[in-house]
C-alpha cells in the first residue's frame, strides 16, 4: 500500500517532527506511534521489529519511513477501494494529530476552533510537499506552494462571502515563498478571518465547506428531485456527489441517509424530457437508470456536468483532489519544461545567429581587403574634390565676410554718428541744466537774503513792541499817579472852598496841577481844568 503511505507521509512527518530532537527520535517513542498506526490498520505487533531495526536507538525520518513502508504498510492488501483508503487516511491523520496537536495549535490569538484547525491541517497535508531543508539535507520540512495555498484561501474567502484579491495574494506569496503550517494558519487567521463581523459559526461552516471539497472530494451538493423505484413520484433530497458515489439524504444536515448510488466510468448522464416545472435528467448505471429533476435549467446543466466529471475520475485509488493536484503539478512541470525548452531553443538560435554573424564578418573583412585599394583611390579623389570644394567655399566665405565687414563698418559709423549726436544733445541738456541750477541758486540766495532781512525786521519790531509796552506800562503808572493826585487836589479844594473867592480858587486850584509834556499829563490837565471850571461857575464845590 505505497499509495496510502504516500498520502499520509506529511501528517506522519508532523508527528515525527513533534517528537524529534536534533533530526532523530528515540525508538521508544516511535514504537508507541507505530503501535497506534498498526492498530488502525488491523495489524498488531508491528512495533516489535523496531528493536532489531538498525543498531542505533534513534532513527531519522528516512529510516522510520523505510520501516513503515516495508514492515507495516506492505502487509496491507494491494487491492483496496478508495473508500477504505480514505477511511484509513482519516484515522491515521487523527492519530498523528493527537501527537503533534500541542505544537500545531498553540498561537497567540486563535480564531479557528480546534476542530477547524484539524480540518485545515488535513487539507495542508493533502496539498503540501515533503522536501529537504535547504540548511540541512538530512532534515525534511513540509511546505505548501503559494499557488496551492492560494486555492485553499480563495475557496475559504468565497465561502465566507468575501471578495478575493488575486493580485494581493500573489504579492504575499512572492514575499513569503513556501508556506509552512504555522505560516499558512497565521495568514488565514490574520488576513482573511480577523474581521470581528465574521461570526464563529460562519468560520466553522466555511472550513467545513472547504474540508468537504478537498478531503471528502465532494464535487457538488444541493437539493434534487428523485423519482422513486416503487412509487413514480418525485421527492426532494439533499444530494452529495463524490467521484465514486452519489449519496442522498433527507435534509442538508446529512444525518439520515436515504440511499447511495455507486458511480464508475461506465455510468453516463443524459438530459430527459418531462412535464411540469422540473428540469429532468437521467443517471444511467450498469444496473439501473435513475431519474432526477432540478428547479431550473442552469442547475440541471451544473449537475449533469458534475456527474460526468465524477464518472470520469471515479476509477483508481486516488481521490479527485489528489488527481487535480497532480494535474496542476503536471501542468506546472509542463510549463517549466516548455519554458526550459523555449530557453534552450532561444539559446541555440542565438548561438546560430552569432556564428552566422561571425561568418558574415569574415566575408566582410575579405571583401574589405579586396576593395581596399579601390577605396583608397576613391578616398583620395573624394579628398581632392573636398579640398577643391573647400577652397571654392573659402573664397565665397571670404567675399561674404568682406561684405559683412563693410556692412558692419557702415553700421558702426552710423552708430558712432548717432552716439556723437546723442552726446552733443546730452551736453546741451547738461549745460541748460547747469544754467537753470545757477539761476535757482541765485534766486535761492535772494530768497535767503529777504528771509534774513524779514527776520531782522521782525526782531526790530519785537524790540519796538517791547519798548512801547514798557512806555505803555509807564504811562499807565503815571495815569494812576495823576488820578491819585487829582483825588488829593479835589479833597484840598473842597477843604479850601469857604475861604477863597471863586476866581482865586480856580487859579489856585490850577496852580496845584502839575504840568508835563507827555500826552498823558496833558490829558490829566484838561480833565482837571474841566472839573475846576465846573466848580468855578457854580461857586462852590
Share of residues in the chain with pLDDT > 90 (%):
23
**Residue tagged 543498531 (cell numbers):** 55
Please count the structural domains in the chain.
2
- Lowest-pLDDT range, 5-19, 181-195, 315-329? 315-329
One domain for residues 183 and 295: no
pLDDT at residue number 334: 74
One domain for residues 37 and 186: yes
Considering the domain boundaries, does residue 359 fall inside one? no
Considering the domain boundaries, does residue 432 fall inside one? no
Considering the domain boundaries, does residue 28 fall inside one? yes
- Residue 224 confidence (pLDDT) above 90: yes
Q: What is the DSSP string of 388-452?
A: HHHHHHHHHHHHHHHHHHHHHHHHHHHHHHHHHHHHHHHHHHHHHHHHHHHHHHHHHHHHHHHHH
pLDDT at residue number 498: 65
One domain for residues 122 and 238: no
Cell numbers describing residue 535: 466848580
Considering the domain boundaries, does residue 402 fall inside one? no
Single out the residue in 188, 214, 240 at which a domain terminates: 214
Mean pLDDT for the stretch of residues 374-403: 89
One domain for residues 57 and 21: yes
Considering the domain boundaries, does residue 147 fall inside one? yes
Considering the domain boundaries, does residue 506 fall inside one? no
One domain for residues 126 and 259: no
Single out the residue in 214, 232, 261 at which a domain terminates: 214
Helices (H), 70-165: 82-105, 114-127, 146-159
One domain for residues 137 and 241: no
One domain for residues 289 and 227: yes
34: nearest Cα among 96, 125, 80, 84:
96
**What are 455-469's pLDDT values in tens digits?**
999 999 999 999 999
> How much is the mean pLDDT over the chain?
83
One domain for residues 73 and 96: yes
Considering the domain boundaries, does residue 484 fall inside one? no
One domain for residues 235 and 210: no
One domain for residues 111 and 161: yes
Instruction: Write out the residue range of the structural domain in which residue 177 sits.
Output: 2-214
One domain for residues 101 and 196: yes
Cβ burial of 406 (10 Å; 0-12, 13-18, 19+) is: exposed
Single out the residue in 318, 350, 385 at which a domain terminates: 318
499: pLDDT confidence band, cut at 50, 70 and 90? Answer: low
Considering the domain boundaries, does residue 301 fall inside one? yes
Domain CATH number, residue 224: 2.30.29.30
Residue 533: its H or E element: helix 519-538
One domain for residues 153 and 187: yes
Amino acid at each position: 500500500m505505497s499509495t496510502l503511505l504516500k498520502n499520509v507521509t506529511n501528517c506522519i512527518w508532523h508527528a515525527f517532527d513533534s517528537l524529534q530532537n536534533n533530526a532523530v527520535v528515540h525508538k521508544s517513542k516511535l514504537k508507541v506511534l507505530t503501535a497506534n498506526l498498526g492498530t488502525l490498520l488491523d495489524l498488531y505487533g508491528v512495533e516489535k521489529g523496531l528493536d532489531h531495526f538498525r543498531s542505533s536507538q534513534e532513527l531519522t525520518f528516512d529510516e522510520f519511513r523505510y520501516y513503515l513502508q516495508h514492515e507495516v504498510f506492505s502487509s496491507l492488501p494491494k487491492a483496496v477501494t478508495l473508500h477504505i483508503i480514505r477511511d484509513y487516511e482519516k484515522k491515521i491523520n487523527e492519530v498523528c494529530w493527537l501527537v503533534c496537536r500541542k505544537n500545531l495549535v498553540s498561537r497567540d490569538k486563535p480564531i479557528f476552533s480546534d476542530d477547524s484547525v484539524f480540518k485545515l491541517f488535513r487539507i495542508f497535508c493533502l496539498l503540501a510537499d515533503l522536501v529537504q531543508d535547504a540548511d540541512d539535507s538530512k532534515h525534511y520540512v513540509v511546505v505548501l506552494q503559494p499557488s496551492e495555498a492560494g486555492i485553499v484561501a480563495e475557496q475559504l474567502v468565497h465561502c465566507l462571502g468575501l471578495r478575493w484579491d488575486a493580485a494581493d495574494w500573489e504579492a504575499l506569496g512572492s514575499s513569503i515563498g513556501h508556506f509552512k503550517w504555522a505560516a499558512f494558519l497565521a495568514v488565514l487567521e490574520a488576513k482573511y478571518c480577523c474581521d470581528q463581523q465574521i461570526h464563529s459559526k460562519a468560520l466553522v461552516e466555511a472550513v467545513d465547506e472547504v474540508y468537504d471539497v478537498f478531503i471528502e472530494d465532494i464535487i457538488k451538493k444541493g437539493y434534487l428531485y428523485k423519482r422513486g423505484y416503487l412509487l413514480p413520484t418525485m421527492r426532494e433530497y439533499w444530494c452529495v456527489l463524490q467521484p465514486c458515489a452519489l449519496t442522498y439524504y433527507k435534509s442538508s444536515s446529512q444525518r439520515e441517509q436515504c440511499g447511495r448510488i455507486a458511480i464508475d466510468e461506465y455510468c453516463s448522464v443524459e438530459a430527459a424530457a418531462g412535464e411540469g416545472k422540473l428540469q429532468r435528467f437521467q443517471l444511467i448505471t450498469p444496473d439501473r437508470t435513475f431519474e432526477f429533476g432540478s428547479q431550473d435549467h442552469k442547475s440541471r446543466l451544473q449537475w449533469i456536468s458534475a456527474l460526468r466529471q465524477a464518472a470520469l475520475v471515479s476509477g483508481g485509488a486516488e481521490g479527485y483532489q489528489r488527481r487535480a493536484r497532480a494535474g496542476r503539478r503536471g501542468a506546472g512541470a509542463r510549463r517549466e519544461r516548455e519554458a526550459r525548452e523555449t530557453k534552450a531553443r532561444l539559446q541555440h538560435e542565438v548561438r546560430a545567429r552569432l556564428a552566422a554573424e561571425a561568418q558574415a564578418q569574415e566575408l566582410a573583412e575579405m571583401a574589405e581587403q579586396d576593395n581596399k585599394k579601390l577605396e583608397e583611390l576613391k578616398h583620395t579623389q573624394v579628398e581632392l574634390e573636398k579640398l577643391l570644394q573647400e577652397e571654392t567655399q573659402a573664397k565665397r566665405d571670404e567675399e561674404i565676410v568682406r561684405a559683412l565687414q563693410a556692412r558692419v563698418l557702415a553700421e558702426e559709423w552710423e552708430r558712432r554718428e548717432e552716439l556723437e549726436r546723442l552726446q552733443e544733445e546730452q551736453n546741451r541738456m547738461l549745460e541748460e541744466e547747469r544754467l537753470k541750477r545757477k539761476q535757482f541758486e541765485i534766486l535761492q540766495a535772494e530768497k535767503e537774503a529777504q528771509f534774513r532781512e524779514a527776520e531782522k525786521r521782525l526782531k526790530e519790531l519785537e524790540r519796538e513792541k517791547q519798548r512801547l509796552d514798557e512806555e505803555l506800562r509807564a504811562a499807565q503808572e503815571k495815569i494812576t499817579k495823576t488820578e491819585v493826585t487829582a483825588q488829593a487836589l479835589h479833597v484840598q479844594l473842597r477843604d479850601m472852598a469857604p475861604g477863597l473867592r471863586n476866581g482865586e480858587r480856580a487859579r489856585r486850584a490850577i496852580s496845584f496841577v502839575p504840568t508835563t509834556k507827555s500826552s498823558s499829563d496833558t490829558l490829566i490837565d484838561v480833565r482837571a481844568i474841566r472839573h475846576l471850571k465846573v466848580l468855578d461857575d457854580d461857586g462852590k464845590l
